[in-house]
Amino acid sequence: MRMLKGKLLPVLAWFLMITSTTVVASSRRGVSYAPPKLKPLTGLLPHLTFSHGFKEFFGGSHIQIVDNGTSVNLILDKSSGAGFVSQNSYKYGFFSAAIKVPSGYTSGVVIAFYMSNAEMFPHAHDEIDIELLGHQKRREWILQTNIYGNGSVHTGREEKFRLWFDPTQQFHQYSIIWNHNHTVFLVDNVPIREVIYRETTFSCYPLKPMSVYCTIWDGSEWATRGGKYPVNYNYAPFVTNLRDMEMAGCSWDSKTGEPVCANNGGGASSLDPVGGEDFVKLSEEQKLGMQELRKRFMIYSYCKDKNRYKVLPPECRA
């Protein structure tokens, strides 16, 4: 019996190791996770064509407008990346796009759907970011969120997540709610992060009007540990596809310096992205879905980065 036990233990240990590895790998691929079915916010507001909402930011021919302007391809190759920007600036609202990212080896490729006023306030700008980062090893994509006001990238508040799906195979919706109550980042209508506006605990909340951007660019130096895994242009062109773009809220009138709010900016309608009940507060179902997703898939939070912050920001200690 002792001899048999001696033979069985290594086999049992090997089996447990393989089983454990398989479970972890399945979790990484998102096989074991089904996101909650929550009330969708995307689709409640009109989809915009390129000509009715956006204009070129950079890239020229690297921007391809297709399907009568309802879809846009952004291309990165050795000569250039590409990007477009909203025709208007906004002071609060709901902003969303369905995005499909390039497959294959994408280290250093960065696709960003974000809000910024860096051109107006180059030294003290506001920013709200959703960034998809090509990965150098497992050929997966990492999702990063960031938010700050009156600062720069050095004062950002980053969080990173693994994805529970393959973003190269089909379109997924990436959305931002930004109003005077909170900023919420959503993926396929599931909140992944909420930043509540409290001046005493989140002093860097973005408050100035911002434009909406979508870009693809070479982020080798920034996204791959100082260029350790740079973009390999042997795999170019890298093409990201966007559609179902939504922007609604208070556009900014630069002549009067005042917001122009559609959809009853005072919040009379539940569909108002500035004051409507579906946008100013998360439901209990949304909160539970967010907590579960963060528990499973968040891999970095600035609030836990003691190497970066000797004294954690006040909101991390609230």
The answer to whether the bond into 273 is cis (omega within 30° of 0) is: no
* 277-306 tens-digit pLDDT: 999 999 999 999 999 999 999 999 999 998
**Taking 80 as the threshold, does the pLDDT of residue 246 lie above it?**
yes
Find the mean pLDDT for residues 299-317: 90
Rounded Cα–Cα distance for residues 182 and 202 (Å): 11
Looking at residue 135, its pLDDT comes to 79
| Tens-digit pLDDT profile for residues 114-168 | 999 999 998 899 999 999 999 776 668 999 999 999 887 777 899 999 999 999 9
Average pLDDT over residues 29-52: 87
Q: Which residues, 6 or more positions from 154, have their beta carbon under 8 angstroms from its beta carbon?
A: none
The larger pLDDT score, comparing residue 53 to residue 199, is at 53
Q: 58-62, 134-138, 236-240: lowest mean pLDDT where? A: 134-138
Confidence band for 10, pLDDT divided at 50, 70 and 90: very low
Is 127 labeled as catalytic in the residue annotation? yes
User: Following CA atoms 287, 290, 294, 298 in sequence, which dihedral angle do they give, to the nearest 10 degrees?
Assistant: -140
**Mean predicted confidence (pLDDT) in 216-234:** 86
pLDDT for 65-107, tens place per residue?
999 999 999 999 999 999 999 999 999 999 999 999 999 999 9
> Average pLDDT, whole number, for the chain?
86
Q: Give me the mean pLDDT over the 155-183 stretch.
A: 95
The pLDDT value recorded for residue 13 is 37
End-to-end CA distance of the chain, in Å? Answer: 59
The active-site residue out of 56, 119, 127, 292 is 127
Does residue 268 surpass a pLDDT of 60? no
303 exposure class (CB count in 10 Å sphere: 0-12, 13-18, 19+):
middle
- Band of residue 210 on the pLDDT scale cut at 50, 70, 90: very high
- Which of 56, 131, 258, 277 does the annotation list as catalytic? 131
pLDDT at 223: 74
Token pair in block for residue 57: 């930011």
CB atoms within 10 A of CB 160: 17
Say yes or no to pLDDT of 203 above 60.
yes
Q: What is the pLDDT of residue 118?
A: 93
pLDDT score of 1 more than 50: no
Mean pLDDT computed over 22-51 = 75
pLDDT at 107: 93
What does the pLDDT read at residue 17?
Answer: 34
- The 8-class DSSP code of residue 317 comes to H
Delineate the domains of the chain, giving CATH numbers in brackets: 58-306 (2.60.120.200)
